[in-house]
Amino acid sequence: DLAVPNNRVLNIVGDGAQEATGGEIWMADVTGDGAGDLIIGRPNFRAAAPDRIGAGALTIIVGGPALRTLATNGATLDLRAPPPSVRIVTLVGAATLDRLGFWMRTGDITGDGVDDIAVGADQEDTGGAVNSGAVYVIRGGPHLDANLTVDLAGFGATALDGRIFRVLPPPGSADYHFGATVALADLDGNRRAELIASASLNRAGGVLLAEGAPPGSAVGSGGNPGGSVFILWDDNLPAGALWPANLTFTMGALPISQTRIDGGSVAGQYTNDRFGEEILGGLDYNGDAAPDVFFGDITGQATGRDAAGVGHVFFTAARLKNRSFTMSAPPVDIALTTIFGPSAGAIFSDTAAHGDFDNDGIDDLAVSSPTASPFGRVSAGIMHVIWGRSGNWPAVVDLLDARKPSPALLRITDIFGARGDVSASDRGDTLMYSAASADMDRDGRDDLIVNEMRGNGVSPAATDVGNLLVIGGAAIPKQ
């Protein structure tokens, strides 16, 4: 219960009002010292000199014993005045309302064994195109074990030169919100991650205004109509310890290794609305030792069910390289499974996590329907664990109970949220609105870390405060 002081919990506080510190967080070892580092999005951060409302920021809190000492002493880590014992790197958005830090993920794009960081600034304007968006990739390594502020207004002449590059959407991409979702995942099995970024936005927190920002300047829904996903393949990066200063890639330009997939529709099956709003890749769901990739569309229409949500799994993701197509006519030489959410309004694929939950050597996929209403529990939510298997999955998987595939074709375990809506001020749990996975208990099985976004706390007054759940892989029944 976070209402009770606990010397194993460190509270971290943002600098300014409405800064949205922690709107997105991630953890990985980006310094290469073996300790995890905390990566925090601050999309409404207000930059100074010159004043830039809502420029956004990405803050890296370097892991180490100093953090445990602060917690033990009951201290709070205030990002306005952090203690000198903690090393912090902050990247600041280039311009007003860029919203740097809206989304971030990590992965090893260089193959040096240290995770790198991809971060989106989904409202950055480029080439006169408003809210076109941009993605920055920061190379991991000992250079991030520092106290450092990097202002991206000076991109090409900062302390990270040679260790940062920028990716832009195609010219004329106004309102694409490129970078609203990003991922770094090895899709071709060469131990170097690809950058995957979407032009697709549907985020409840996106409408939170930065302090002093004009009404309407914070966008929660948008992107290229239907949604689009772009992949920048790792062979575009020059070899060597340092990249060229001001290194910038523009999607759609040649010659670079790239992929573009636009949302589409297939009659009687689905219509994409926000294709690519969720991205997850790099693991193997069908046991062929080749990485696969999942793309989610949380408000996609599934067999006439509005906003049921749709997910797409491409098997052997390396075959996507240098392709451009729409989901109305995906390539026939790439195995594809399309998954339909269980009910209208369920927003299936809002969140996804993966890992080997049963330790059978084949990776599994967990995907949420956070606003589904099982057993009449309005917005309690459902977490669907789709178990990996040898061989491709069925071409279509419908999560509607009456249409689910038999266990002989594909095993699926549903975990249901505990509580539905009680009143307008006591909403359903909204299970798995956010998630991650890791082997938390060291039993060789990956475990799920998921939230109940509107779960009630311990005290009677703690209504809709939210909860964090850790579900051991061994505890998930394989149905």
Q: Where are the domains of the chain?
A: 86-475
**Residue 241 binned pLDDT confidence (cut-offs 50, 70, 90):** confident
Share of the chain above pLDDT 90, in %: 99
Please tell me the class of the 86-475 domain. Answer: mainly beta
Please provide the distance, in angstroms rounded to a whole number, between the alpha carbons at the two ends of the chain.
33
Distance CA 450, CA 455 (A): 12
Cβ contacts of 125 within 8 Å, gap of 6 or more: 95, 98, 131, 132
Residues 242 and 250: their CA atoms lie apart, in Å, by 20
Which residues in 205-283 belong to E strands, given as ranges?
221-223, 228-232, 248-250, 258-262, 265-266, 270-271, 278-281
3-state secondary structure of 402: helix
Closest CA to 153 of 21, 52, 244: 52
pLDDT score recorded for residue 8: 96
High-pLDDT (> 70) share of the chain, %: 100
Percent of residues in the chain assigned helix, strand, coil, to nearest 5: 5, 35, 60
Q: What is the pTM of this model?
A: 0.98
How many angstroms separate the most distant Cα atoms in the chain?
62
**pLDDT digits 0-9 by tens, 414-462:** 999 999 999 999 999 999 999 999 999 999 999 999 999 999 999 999 9
pLDDT of residue 254 exceeding 90, the answer is no
Mean pLDDT of 205-218: 98
Q: What does each C-alpha distance from 52 to 13, 47, 80, 447 come to in angstroms?
A: 20, 5, 17, 41
How many angstroms from the chain centroid is the CA of residue 476? 23
d(CA 191, CA 188): 8
What is the rounded distance in angstroms from the CA atom of residue 406 to the CA atom of residue 331? 27
CA distance 92 to 58: 7
Q: Is the pLDDT of residue 239 over 90?
A: no
Strand, helix or coil for residue 153: helix
Please give the pLDDT value at position 357: 99
Digit-coded pLDDT (tens) for 147-156: 999 999 999 9
DSSP E strand boundaries for 277-323: 278-281, 293-297, 301-302, 310-314
Give the ranges where 280-419 is alpha helix by DSSP (H).
none
Is residue 479's pLDDT more than 90? no
The per-residue pLDDT for range 120-144, each reduced to its tens digit, is: 999 999 999 999 999 999 999 999 9
Bridge-based pairing of strands 88-92 and 148-151 is parallel
Closest listed residue to residue 203, CA positions, set 79, 296, 305, 90: 296
Query: How confident is the model over 285-319, as pLDDT tens digits?
Result: 999 999 999 999 999 999 999 999 999 999 999 99
Average pLDDT over residues 163-180: 98
| pLDDT tens digit sequence for 36-94 | 999 999 999 999 999 999 999 999 999 999 999 999 999 999 999 999 999 999 999 99
Rounded to the nearest integer, the mean pLDDT of the chain is 98
